[in-house]
Each structure stands twice: as C-alpha cells, then as structure tokens.
Amino acid sequence: MTTPVRQQGVRHRLADRLFHWGMAVTVIVLGATAFLPILGIRFDWVPLHWTFGVLLTVLVLYHLVRVMLVHGVSEMIPGPDDIREIGYAAGGGAPKGLSEAKYDVFQKGFHLAAAICVLTLLATGLLMLAKIDTTFWNRNPAIFTDQTWGVIYVLHGTGALALLFLFILHVYFALLPEHRDFLLAMIHGKGPEKARKGSNA
Amino acid sequence: MELLRHTQDAFGQRMLVGINWDILWLPVAAAAAFIVLHLVIRTLRRRAG
C-alpha cells in the first residue's frame, strides 16, 4: 500500500529557488571563464572568474544559513532506506517498505557530490585570490610554497572537471520527461513534496 | 597521457603546477557514456513493462 503523498504542495520556497538559479548562473559563468580560454577563446577571464567565485561563495553561505535556520540537514543526510533504495533501483523492482522522503537517494547523492566539488573549488579558489591584485588587496603568492600552490591548483582543476561532469548529468536528468515536475517545482515552487513515496507493502 | 602538469623551478627541480587540461574531454565523455547507459537501461525496462 502506498502512503498517501500530497503531490502539489510547495516543494521549493522562493528563497531556495533564487539560490538554485543564482548558483546555476554563477557556475555557468565560472565554467565558461575557466574552460573557454583553455579551448582557445581568448579574453580577459580572470576578473570575471574571481568576481563570480566570490559571488558563489556568498550564495553558498546564504544557502548554509538557510539550512541551519530553516531546513535542517536531516532531509539531505543519507540513511538506511537510501541504501535499500539503491538496491531496489539496481534490481529494477518496486521499492517496498521505504519511508517517504523529500529527496530520493539519487538526489541526495548528487547534492553530496556537488557540495564536495563546490566547497573544494571555493576553498582553493579563495586561496588563489592571494595571487591577484584587486582594489581590495595586493597579491602575495608567498603565503604558500610553489609545491603547495601546485596541490591547490590540482584540487581546483579536479573539482572543476568533476563539477563539469555533474553539471551535464544534472541538466540531463532535469530534462527527462519523468522529472518534469521537479524541474517545474524549481521554477514556480509547486510540485511533488516527496521525491520518494513511502510504501509499507 | 599525463594527468598532471609539471615544470622545473629555478633549481631544476620538478614542480607541480596543476592538472593537465588536455583531459578536459574526459568528464564530457564520461557524462555522455553515463547518459547513453542510462537511456539504454531506461528503454529496456520500459519495454519489459
């Protein structure tokens, strides 16, 4: 028996939708300013890149404040039912005995992977600000050794490639017809309140 | 194919400078492979009912 689930409540509030689309714009600009010069399209990418990096940092801090004060972390923490949900998905069978949840295991997995990538990129990117002159500070690359800078660049580059992979998959899954309600919920707020419908069969 | 880029410092020592951007195609190809695999499994499961 399937647990009754209210299908058309508010899934994402305006403040969270603004964060999502703000993050989307900043990630696209950061990706474009990072990868286009590598592909041979030359322009002065550094000022745009670090400015949007700082903007993304502010957005992530805003998101963390909302998580701490409004949402809590419990909805996004993987639990035993999430492990079982993977088993059902791999076997192709209908899930049984799983609790309902706002986010299913795949959404939680994506969020965790994206969070690791973005936090790595922000931490290393903020350190890299020491290598450029701006209105607010003068460059001081001597805060780290060359070897440490190399490690920081490797982490930043690896995070960027991993986020590119996740970004492509995110867009693909968002555009699938069966996920249309989730995409629309991120646009106008209303949609399935639970991605994983509970069942006690 | 080298995953990392190195250079030599003033003393001739090998120095890490970052990842090799020649592998930029790798996440794109991996994502494409993932999508194709997902589409195949999705189609097979739908046909199976």
Domains, chain A, with CATH or none = 10-191 (1.20.950.20)
Answer whether residue A47 shows pLDDT above 90: yes
Per-residue pLDDT averaged across A64-74, rounded? 94
Tell which of A36, A131, A168 to mutate to test the B interface (max B CBs under 10 Å). Answer: A168
Position A1 confidence tier, pLDDT thresholds 50, 70, 90: very low
Total-model pTM: 0.91
Is B31 in contact with A146 (Cβ distance < 8 A)? no
- What digits encode the pLDDT tens for the residues A140-183? 999 999 999 999 999 999 999 999 999 999 999 999 999 999 99
Residues of B in contact with A157 (CB under 8 A): 18-19, 21
Dig out the tokens for B47 from the structure: 């046909």
Long-range contacts of B23-28, Cβ-Cβ distance < 8 Å, separation of 24 or more: B23/A161, B24/A35, B24/A38, B24/A39, B24/A161, B26/A161, B27/A161, B27/A162, B27/A164, B27/A165, B27/A168, B28/A164, B28/A165, B28/A168
B2: nearest Cα among B11, B12, B17? B17
Spatial separation of the C-alpha atoms in residues A185 and A193, rounded to whole Å: 9
ipTM of this predicted structure: 0.93
- For chain B, list residues with pLDDT below 70: none
User: What is the average pLDDT value for chain A, to the nearest integer?
Assistant: 91
Contact status of B17 with chain A (Cβ, < 8 Å)? yes
Under an 8 A CB cutoff, do A164 and B28 touch? yes
> Above pLDDT 70, what percent of chain A?
95
Whether the predicted pLDDT of A32 surpasses 60: yes
In angstroms, the CA A117 to CA A132 distance is 23
Q: Which of A27, A131, A165 to probe by mutation at the B interface, max B CB count within 10 Å?
A: A165
pLDDT of residue A37: 97
Rounded CA-CA distance A3/A9 in Å is: 16
CA-based nearest residue in chain A for residue B6: A150
Q: What local confidence, expressed as pLDDT, does residue A64 receive?
A: 97
pLDDT tens profile A80-124 = 999 999 888 888 777 788 888 899 999 999 999 999 999 999 999
B29-42: pLDDT as tens digits: 999 999 999 999 99
A147·B30 Cβ contact <8 A: no
**What is the SS3 string spanning chain A?**
CECCCCCCEECCCHHHHHHHHHHHHHHHHHHHHHHHHHCCCCCCHHHHHHHHHHHHHHHHHHHHHHHHHHHCCHHHCCCHHHHHHHHHHHHCCCCCCCCCECCCHHHHHHHHHHHHHHHHHHHHHHHHHHHCCCCCCCCCHHHCCHHHHHHHHHHHHHHHHHHHHHHHHHHHHHHCHHHHHHHHHHHHCEECCCCECCECC
